[in-house]
Each structure stands twice: as C-alpha cells, then as structure tokens.
Amino acid sequence: MSQGTSKQTKEQTEQQVDISIVGGGLSGLLMAVSLLKQPNIPQHSKLAIIEAAKLEPSQINPFDDRVLALSHGSVEYLRSLGVWTLMADDANPIETIHISDRGNYGKARIKATDHQVEALGYVIPLASIANGLLAALKTADEHNKPIQWYTDSQIEQLTIKAEHSNIKLAAGAQAEPIDIEAKLVIACDGGQSLCRKVAKIGTSQQDYGQWAVIANVCPELPHNNRAFERFTEHGPIAMLPMTNQQCSLVWTLPPEQAQQISELDDKAFCLALEQAFGRWLGSIQSTSKRSIFPLSLVQAEQQSYHRMALVGNASHTIHPIAGQGFNLGLRDVKVLADLVQQQIASGEADLGNAKLLNQYQVMRESDQQAIIKLTDSMVTLFSNDLPPLLAGRNIGLKVMNYLSPLQKAFVNKTMGY
C-alpha cells in the first residue's frame, strides 16, 4: 500500500485529498473498503488513512484475540462488498440463542430457522475481519485505486477551516512532518476520539458500575452453534460459539468482583464460571488469559460537525449486552459511504459539504437511539432484582420463547433490520 516516503520535498509533504479517514481500526478499514467499492468514488476522489499504530497488510499484532458477534445484516453488507469470503472461514454461525435468568423460570430460545435465515449472526475473531479488510484494500491498490496510507503517524494538529480541514502529522514513519488538506474528515478514532475533542463535540456518559471479563473458554460439550445469554444476580454471562468448539466469554460483574475473578488461576476461574453459568455446556475445561474493561454508555451530542463525520465508537460506545456495538458502527459506515456516492453521482465536488453531513446526522439518529435504548433497557431490566422487574423480565422471556411479535421485533432489531 502506498505510504509517505522517507525523503520528500516540501511540496510532497503538502497533500490534498477529498476524504481523510482518521483511525485504521476496524471502522476505519471498513470505511475505506466501503468507499472504494462504490462505483464512482475511486475514480473521482482521493482518500487517505491516518493511523497512529504500525499497520501493514497481513499484520495482525494491533488486533487482540477478542471476537465480535456480527449480525445477519452486517454479514449481508460484508457480502455485498465482496469481502466476506476473505474472512468467512474463521466465522462460526449462531443458529440458536438461548436466553435464561439464573434461579428463575424465565427462558427463551430463538432459532434461525424460525426466522428463515441460515444464521442469526456469526462469531468471528476481530483479527480475521481486519486481515480480510486489509487484503481487500491491498487488492484495490493493485487495481489502481490507491489510498494514501500514513501509519505509525501521530496527529500533531487538526484545524477545521471553512473550505477544508488541515491535519498536521508529526515526523515519525516519515522523515518530515506532513500537512494533509481534506474536504471531509471521517473520525474513526475510537471512544477517546481526538477529532471529536477538536470539534468540541460534547458527550453524555453513563457509568454502569460494571466491568466485563473477557476470555475464550473450552467447554466439555459441543456448543452446536448455540449462543447463551445467562442473566445472574451479579450481571449477564454471554457465551458465544467459536470455531474449534471454543466459546467466547463476556462475563459482566461489579468492578471489585471482576478484578478478583480475573486474577484467579485457570482452574479456579473455570470452576467459578461453571458455578455461575451452570452446566449448559458441561464443565469448563480450559480458559485463555483474561482481560477486563469498564462498561459505560457514551454518546456524542452530534454525529457530524463542519467538515467532519463521526463513525463507530467515536460517535457511540454501548454496553455489550446484546452484542450490537460494531454492528451499529457498521451501519454508520454504510450510510456515510452511500451518501458520499450520491454526492459524487450528482456532480458535487466538495464531499465535506453541509448537506451531506446534515443528511448523515438525520439518517443515523433513529437507529442509534433505538439500539442505545434497547441495550440500556436490558441492562436495567436484567441487573436489578426488584420484584416488579424480576417478574416482568421472566414473563417477557416466557412470551419471547414463542414466535411472538416481541420475539420478531427483538430479532429484527438485533439482526440489523
């Protein structure tokens, strides 16, 4: 992939592009692929990706061993981009979702066959998605659809002006600082977004008072492509089916308890998990190293600003209870790429214009708010043992166990439709 060379003249260090994607994580890579797959964008636009970490095709070190649950709608979008085949071998289908409330009668099973799909979603390593997207971008480069890559590059200054934005990169991988002039900045730089801070876009935040313990575990019994959401008095336990009969664990606990659980030795951790989760998959026989992180809801007060659009975690960070975080960000990407394509098709040369950004703001608001409301309500409902809530959630699970309008609405929303 083309990158800034180590020896450049003054003129070469001043780059002009139509779109600068800030952040080379999953959202940034997907944004780049989505733009390049549009019919008019590669021929009429110059793109740049800026990433602070070193990032090369086939290099997966920046991506840890976590997995993502991709909704049915997200997989269909990746198929439409022609990139699903680059990662599908590492994906495990979710054919059934088993939901239960520990110590209570409420249970529900949701089956893909009942909703006329081959899978409700797929579980896939984060690194596999990244490698597939990087491979697609490398192929695009080889077909004369280049992106200017600035990796191992720190943003020294970001200035938003009337006609463009200026991004100054400190000398790093390049021998000299580089100035990039962009009509549109797409902020894919995560929950601590520098772009969002520079634009002075405020956020609303809610600390859930919970931490997630993350690990990959190997149960005694085959998962048979079942995902489990087990609600306990301390927080939900999600077990997602992976290839090689492993399961990805997301165990939500109060902070002190999460710290204690994560520090247990492997044998004690497996036993504690088995006691909390139950023997739906037999005993827990082995586990990977554990990692923990705090859970909160963070929402940007707006999705766009003058010459800037926020995508993914730069715009919203949500609770993992329904596995919707990346799927929500993927829909940000899709809408924005479609809007850019429409602008080019109409003959618009300025891709950072107010009309595009206002449309993006309006088109993403309802979907984002619906998912945020869904996940936030689930956290409240299933993290509280007050008698009215306890009764309500058990009745709700019992109703959802049948092919009811409640199940259909829940499935459609979590499948990305």
pTM of structure: 0.90
Q: Which residues of the chain have pLDDT under 70?
A: 1-12, 56-64, 103-106, 144, 172-175, 382-404
pLDDT at 377: 83
Residue type for position 172: G
pLDDT at 413: 81
Distance CA(92)–CA(240), nearest Å, equals: 9
pLDDT at 353: 97
Q: Spell out the domains of the chain, with CATH numbers in brackets.
A: 11-62+128-202+299-374 (3.50.50.60), 68-125+204-296+381-414 (3.30.9.10)
pLDDT at 277: 96
Distance CA(313)–CA(298), nearest Å, equals: 9
pLDDT at 101: 80
3-state secondary structure the chain: CCECCCCCCCHHHEEEEEEEEECCCHHHHHHHHHHHCCCCHHHHCCEEEEECCCCCCCCCCCCCCCEEEEEHHHHHHHHHHCCHHHCHHHCEEECEEEEEECCCCCEEEEEHHHHCCCCCEEEEEHHHHHHHHHHHHHHHHHCCCCEEEEECCCEEEEEECCCCEEEEECCCCCCCCEEEEEEEEEECCCCCCHHHHHCCCCEEEEEEEEEEEEEEEEECCCCCCEEEEEECCCCEEEEEECHHHCEEEEEEECHHHHHHHHCCCHHHHHHHHHHHHCCECECEEEECCCEEEEEEEEEECCCEECCEEECHHHCEECCHHHCCHHHHHHHHHHHHHHHHHHHHHCCCCCCCCHHHHHHHHHHHHHHHHHHHHHHHHHHHHHCCCCHHHHHHHHHHHHHHCCCCHHHHHHHHHHCCC
